[in-house]
Homo-oligomer: A and B are copies of this chain.
């Protein structure tokens, strides 16, 4: 694992050491005031056993954006990139080849300073840990449109990958699970009128041949898979409408047959097709498509990620 401590106002010398438990004072602020941000990324192996990262600097930029919102210090890009590559090189054998296989990489930052006081810490730890990941088939994903609970507020921290945003979703998601839904599509906290994110993923709608997704905002995460899909769709000649998406519009589109697909996007599954959604007790099934946009996007993204195709965007980065 990669670790680097923030102390006396500066990031100290980083280290790569064997994976081992952390020792923290019980008053470490992360336990009490939730100063904790993270990222999710992956390393992919091609047929020549070369290992690749996907837009890693975007992850660093985002963890720093998250950190700023939680009054935590930014981490330097060069130290991150050097440390990340050195770590993945050491762990190279854990990256298995073949579509679906990858090394999941988790950079995160926690407030380590021991002090029971509700103010920003002056000591932090930046870590990167890794774990082999396999492709999995999650089955039909059925989602519930949020009508009571919410994920984030205007002026809040919804756009940050802040630890607290995730714990807040567990209870409502448990309730949805009990009703037979795997995830929640989050709506605005105010009137639950607009569709914003699906579980921990960004969400896309295909209406006829147009791809629609909500704009990023204070409430919505600036997903790296999300923006890659938007780019690929546009370059494939697909019209992409980035605009607020009304629940009523999607209900209407489902009823009149123009709603062809809904899918979540994120690092873990690239895309996660949604087969049905429930709104105010009514269930709307998405008809099966012969040729789904979501499959095409996944194929194209995987092609770049696994070094199977050209990368016109410069997204792939060699270890």
Contacts and interface: CB of A to CB of B under 8 A. Distances in A.
A178 to B, nearest CB: 12
B32 A26 contact: no
A154 B153 CA distance: 8
A108 B31 CA distance: 8
B31 A163 contact: yes
A25 to B, nearest CB: 6
B166 A118 contact: yes
A19 interface: yes
A198 to B, nearest CB: 13
Interface string A200-216: 10000000000000000
Interface of A: 1, 19-28, 30-36, 38, 68-71, 104, 106, 108, 110-111, 116, 118-120, 127, 129, 131, 146, 148-157, 162-174, 189-190, 200
Closest CB pairs A-B (n = 6): A164-B164, A153-B153, A34-B163, A153-B189, A71-B170, A150-B155
Given A1-B26, A22-B28, 16 more contacts: A20-B26, A22-B25, A22-B26, A24-B24, A30-B36, A31-B38, A32-B106, A33-B166, A35-B167, A71-B170, A149-B156, A151-B156, A156-B189, A157-B164, A163-B163, A189-B190
29 contacts: A1-B26, A21-B24, A21-B26, A22-B25, A23-B23, A30-B36, A30-B163, A31-B110, A32-B106, A32-B108, A32-B163, A32-B166, A33-B166, A34-B36, A34-B164, A35-B170, A68-B171, A70-B170, A70-B171, A71-B171, A106-B116, A111-B167, A116-B131, A118-B200, A120-B170, A120-B174, A157-B164, A162-B167, A162-B168
